[in-house]
Structure 1
């Protein structure tokens, strides 16, 4: 159990009050046009682009602590390195193209290139993919630990602090609150690493007290296991948040260099979180619940006040992602699902976006309460809905990889359906095949369908000649 002083509680309370103040202050300056509400007028400069892009990338901070505690630097190899690589690729080959399209969402681009049916399917997929449920759950669980309240109350409070200012201020409120949280999260982790180095021991302490595999790049896992995480990182190309921030940038160069600079800050923050995770393993040895590695380690080594600041940093890291995902959910609901299914008109997109924030929030609270496993939510949603959309997005911006509407719809449905079938059948197949990850199955099926679509297109192109 974590104990808090009055000073700690006061610091955490001040963090939440400042978060609300900044959110509502930003909301006062938001004009209620679609472009202003959804993308802050497409005027986001390089500094704000970088700060919000960095802060929204780390919502799963408790999972990072758990992964590092159990597997060492493999956490960085799988959760950091592949994302740097694909983010750099995205910056050079997609960022400027995405910005120049001047759209609002990924389904907008899918509709232009592949037609209405694939756009409708992708709208539903993305609405589920950007569910803030895992981040609402983490925030609620931390509130439960600190204030000793029932989880459901923690989830509701988490939703309120992630959403109320978004309904009034839209993307600008999301943007400004994320900038504030960027500084809080860096401050908290700099403090815990500095205190660890000064009071627990230097890097020789880590070498002497960590299991050898914790300092191995594979962490004792097979190369196939590492490869699967690199495949999962392909999600970068289909990340609605990346696309949203590129759409909102003032120009293509801002989007491109904003992502490249973000990679530097991701590396720095990953160094801090990985180091803190390694210290927690070396110092605490055998935790029964590694997901609490960061909170329990902070409780043991940080004094009054510093502990409160570190917990504020944990909240900042999570909420900066949960509010962004909530707004993405609302945008997808209003601009894509309601508009593309014919339930809304262009002039009512903002209203339905606000309604979507509420709908997504309620669904997230219910999902978090009944599942109560961040890893399970990530694994299930990511494995099912990512494979079918990645290749279509590449094709949307590069004509050589483009297929027709029917194959696009088949790829979306086939990629997801194959994962569901494998998840159902996996426990009953031969043990020698059970190591195959569901996402690998989905990506394979999507690739086969995509290649068939490309072959058909080339056949008809050659016939016309």
Structure 2
């Protein structure tokens, strides 16, 4: 355990050092929120992948493989990889917008009311997603140290707030790039060692219920639902879209997205396999502790240290991206609506850092109250995506749209998505699908009626004429 802790400490100090370095590159709020729009394709792919391969795609997948989903938990990440490849088709339009936030684009086309509603949804979702990553980090800290879970949450939350406060998007991007490749290599090396120390592949398989090895146990409806959910959340979620906005140019946005999708798909089933090894070897532990327990009990200390360092840093980095998303949306979309006054650049940078602190404290509170991982992820994705989905994408891609089409689609899509989630997804259809379809249908109907009536269209700075 001492070796593991030394490796983790050295690794984390290195990441904090990168954060201090990134702080020196921040000259204005654009650097803090968008890394100066200078990310190349490899850097973009790394930061996109590291953002999504956080708590849900590592600790969460391992826990679901240990629990109800078995091997098929890997589809959670494959679905994300497929979805982000699909996003590459609209990525150049995102970059062309030269925006900072999703609500900013919505506001330009549909007005202040639509912008404010989309902003509130984004703030709620990003805060919840921050809490998820704090929970995932705390579950590992709890196993390693024996700290009470609540104290582990408080410590993990405090670290991520400091980390984000320092360097903004530059800090997140540089650390993401390192973290993604370390976590993938660490997981890949871990599997053969874990199998060997658990008694071999055959022994592990014999200890598992047969249904846990079902490749599609999760069900095709759920798999397709996750693809739709992730396509929506990658194309409308602030922490993902903000990275496309940070790309050097439109081609970079496309190829960075494609590379990210391929890398995620290759990684997908590794944490699921480790979760199954955990179930076969330690059948009576808490499922959220499966990955950390396998790492500390079945892996050589050096490999365990590298793996857990990567997981801890990746989850903290995902939390950092979500904290930054909250700060960006508040500064760009909410502050001026409340105070009727734009901030100057220096004041904007200071306010952004204060928002990071306040949001971090709220996320710690959410994590203390609810220690779910994937269920809270799905809730957050549903909240932020179902309503704004049609308005945001069609606002980027279509010339003739009306303000009411955007506003009503956001309201109705969100309402139906929340109601469907509350009813616990009747007929096995995910709320995100029902809500997005309702949003799209509402948009198309209202837009067609208003165009026929001669209602003025919302000007578009995005669509090629």
TM-score by structure 2 length?
A: 0.88
Instruction: Tell me which moved more, 237-246 or 194-203.
Output: 194-203
2:440 aligned partner: 447
Q: CA deviation at 1:376?
A: 4.3
1:45 aligned partner: 40
Structure 1 stretches of at least 4 aligned residues deviating more than 6 Å after TM superposition:
none
1:373 aligned partner: 372
2:50 aligned partner: 55
**Structure 1 residue 36 corresponds to structure 2 residue 31:** yes
C-alpha separation between the residues in 2 aligned to 1:261 and 1:433? 36
C-alpha separation between the residues in 2 aligned to 1:228 and 1:88? 16
Q: CA deviation at 1:260?
A: 0.9
Superposed, which structure 2 residues align to 1:229-378 within 5 Å?
Answer: 229-234=226-231, 235-284=233-282, 286-342=283-339, 344-347=341-344, 348-378=347-377
Q: 8 Å contact 2:126–2:325 — kept in the other structure?
A: yes
- Aligned to 2:82, what secondary structure does the other structure show? helix
Q: 8 Å contact 1:187–1:313 — kept in the other structure?
A: no
1:396 aligned partner: 395
C-alpha separation between the residues in 1 aligned to 2:456 and 2:61? 53
Select 1:161's aligned residue among 134, 138, 159.
Answer: 159
2:462 aligned partner: none
Q: CA deviation at 1:73?
A: 3.3
Superposed, which structure 2 residues align to 1:58-97 within 5 Å?
Answer: 58-59=53-54, 60=56, 61-70=58-67, 71-77=69-75, 79-91=76-88, 93-97=89-93
Kindly provide the CA deviation profile for residues 169-205 of structure 1, in whole angstroms up to 9, marking residues without a partner as x: 2211111122232233123212311313554466656
1:147 aligned partner: 145
Kindly provide the CA deviation profile for residues 184-243 of structure 1, in whole angstroms up to 9, marking residues without a partner as x: 312321231131355446665665554433343321x55434443333223222122232
1:113 aligned partner: 109
Q: Quick one: structure 1 residues 271 and 338, their matched pair in 2 at CA, closer, same or farther if it must change by over 3 Å?
A: same
For the aligned residue pairs, the C-alpha RMSD in angstroms reads 2.7
Kindly provide the CA deviation profile for residues 398-437 of structure 1, in whole angstroms up to 9, marking residues without a partner as x: 116x64222322222222223444555x38xxxx957554
Q: Report how many residues are paired.
A: 449
Q: CA deviation at 1:141?
A: 3.0
Select 2:126's aligned residue among 126, 130, 140.
Answer: 130
C-alpha separation between the residues in 1 aligned to 2:387 and 2:106? 12
Q: 8 Å contact 2:143–2:289 — kept in the other structure?
A: no
- Aligned to 2:52, what secondary structure does the other structure show? coil
Select 1:224's aligned residue among 221, 226, 230.
Answer: 221
Q: 8 Å contact 1:335–1:353 — kept in the other structure?
A: no
Structure 1 segments unaligned to the other structure (5+ residues) = none
Q: 8 Å contact 1:419–1:441 — kept in the other structure?
A: yes
Q: Quick one: structure 1 residues 207 and 304, their matched pair in 2 at CA, closer, same or farther if it must change by over 3 Å?
A: closer
Structure 2 segments unaligned to the other structure (5+ residues) = 458-465
